[in-house]
């Protein structure tokens, strides 16, 4: 069953076009991941969904209700966990949860029951009665998740939920999202972490420069690519000119379909190859024919990064770097 339907969404900010005609459907009861580098348009899309930004054209329906025509009814169905935390420092966690319950006009008994459930679900017992000014980043995120889910929304929408968190807190967030999915909540999250989407999402949509470049299950997207991947490091950190010389000779091999230089990984080379016996040995021979060493060479199955690479010609990390002006 489709829960969210996004139809031909366009959004511009002055001369910048953030969304260029996005259409998507999100099934109920699943974790839907929106993947893309910085500046791809993920936050803009999420803000349109949460009725915080009005699209120029297009519409979004949540359980059949239009965000443009009935934003208030849509908001009742959504919980939103923003990228930036905006917690008051003086209030305690419990006071903030209560405030949130009041904003949503939750009946008093129901609010108390939900606060108790959220505190237990997110292991907030030791912290909920302390002022949030003393919370760690991970603890603040837990409180933010509790607030997003307090009014029992059908969909929890999260913008980059694990940015800046340590591994332990990230695991807590992932487990929480899996648990609420099991309880029937639909989860819509953005991320620019491939491993996060791979680990969590039932469905993924990949956004690049305001356009949808792929949408399916992570498994189907990877399987559709075909071929095998080889990652080659000439040195641990290879000078650019050496990587370019190697790229040129590797392209001469008949089974090599594509070679790109991965700047963020010390100019390692990413190859797409047709499955061929002795391919790794032939690749190494080519490198040594240039009188260059081979630091490491590794074969693998396609990843979501390869899906992004195939569609855009660059890795997600390189796109992130470029977006940050690197
Ligand atoms: P990030 O991960 O960095 O948040 P994103 O994928 O969420 O990236 P958006 O924040 O939606 O991307 O931004 C898409 C484009 O729209 C970017 O070029 C951004 O600079 C621009 N943009 C976003 N919000 C505004 C705004 N309020 N005014 C002007 N330009 C904006």
Domains of the chain, start order: 2-221 (3.40.50.300), 227-301 (3.30.70.100)
pLDDT at 88 over 80: no
Can you tell me the distance from the alpha carbon of 316 to that of 277, in angstroms, rounded to the nearest whole number? 30
Give mean pLDDT, residues 28-40. Answer: 93
- CB-based contact 257:272 (threshold 8 Å): yes
- CA-nearest residue for atom 29, ligand 1, is 13
The pairing of strands 256-262 and 268-273 is antiparallel
pLDDT at 97 over 80: yes
pLDDT at 307 over 60: yes
Q: What angle do CA 243, 248, 250 make, to 5 degrees?
A: 90
Give the pocket of ligand 1 (CB within 6 Å): 13, 16, 18, 36, 38-44, 192
Query: Which segment of 217-231, 250-264, 271-285 scores lowest on mean pLDDT?
Result: 217-231
pLDDT at 324 over 80: no
Q: What is the pTM of this model?
A: 0.82
Banded pLDDT at 42 (limits 50, 70, 90): very high
Banded pLDDT at 326 (limits 50, 70, 90): low
- Ordered strands of the 57-62 beta sheet: 16-27, 2-13, 57-62, 65-66
Q: How far does residue 305's CA lie from ligand 1's centre (Å)?
A: 22
Give mean pLDDT, residues 295-320. Answer: 84
Q: Ligand 1: which of 14, 44, 163 to mutate, judged by most atoms within 8 Å of the beta carbon? A: 44
Nearest Cα neighbor of 227 from 299, 282, 294, 158 is 299
The pairing of strands 57-62 and 31-35 is unpaired
Give mean pLDDT, residues 2-24. Answer: 96
pLDDT of residue 323: 77
- CA-nearest residue for atom 3, ligand 1, is 38
Terminal CA-to-CA distance of the chain, rounded, Å?
Answer: 42
Q: Ligand 1: which of 19, 42, 159, 323 to mutate, judged by most atoms within 8 Å of the beta carbon? A: 42
Give mean pLDDT, residues 35-54. Answer: 92
Average pLDDT of the residues of the chain: 91
- CA-nearest residue for atom 24, ligand 1, is 44
Question: With 0-12 CB in 10 A as exposed, 13-18 as middle and 19+ as buried, what is 291?
Answer: exposed
pLDDT of residue 301: 82
- CB-based contact 77:153 (threshold 8 Å): yes
């Amino acid at each position: 069953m489709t829960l969210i339907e996004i139809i031909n969404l366009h959004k511009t900010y002055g001369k910048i076009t953030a969304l260029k005609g996005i259409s998507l459907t999100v099934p109920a009861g699943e974790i839907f991941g929106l993947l893309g580098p910085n500046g791809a348009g993920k936050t803009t899309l999420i803000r349109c969904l949460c009725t915080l930004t009005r699209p120029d054209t297009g519409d979004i329906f949540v359980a059949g209700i239009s965000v443009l025509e009935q934003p208030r009814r849509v908001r009742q169905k959504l919980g939103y966990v923003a990228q930036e935390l905006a917690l008051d420092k003086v209030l305690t966690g419990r006071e903030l949860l209560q405030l949130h319950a009041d904003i949503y006009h939750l009946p008093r008994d129901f609010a108390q029951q939900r606060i108790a459930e959220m505190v237990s679900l997110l292991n907030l017992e030791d912290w909920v009665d302390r002022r949030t000014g003393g919370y760690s980043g991970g603890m603040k995120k837990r409180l933010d998740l509790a607030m997003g889910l307090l009014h029992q929304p059908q969909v929890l929408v999260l913008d980059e939920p694990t940015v800046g968190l340590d591994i332990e807190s990230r695991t807590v967030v992932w487990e929480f999202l899996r648990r609420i999915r099991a309880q029937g909540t639909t989860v819509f999250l953005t991320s620019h972490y491939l491993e996060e989407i791979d680990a969590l999402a039932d469905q993924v949509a990949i956004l690049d420069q305001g356009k949808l470049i792929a949408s399916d299950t992570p498994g189907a997207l990877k399987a559709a690519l075909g071929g095998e991947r080889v990652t080659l490091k000439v040195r641990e950190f290879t000078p650019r000119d050496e990587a370019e010389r190697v790229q040129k000779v590797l392209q001469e091999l008949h089974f090599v379909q594509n070679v790109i230089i991965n700047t963020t990984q010390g100019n390692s080379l990413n190859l797409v190859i047709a499955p061929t016996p002795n391919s790794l040995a032939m690749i190494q021979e080519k490198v040594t024919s240039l009188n260059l060493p081979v630091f490491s060479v590794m074969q693998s199955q396609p990843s979501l990064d390869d899906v992004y690479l195939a569609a855009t010609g660059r890795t997600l990390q390189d796109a992130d770097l470029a977006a940050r002006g690197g």
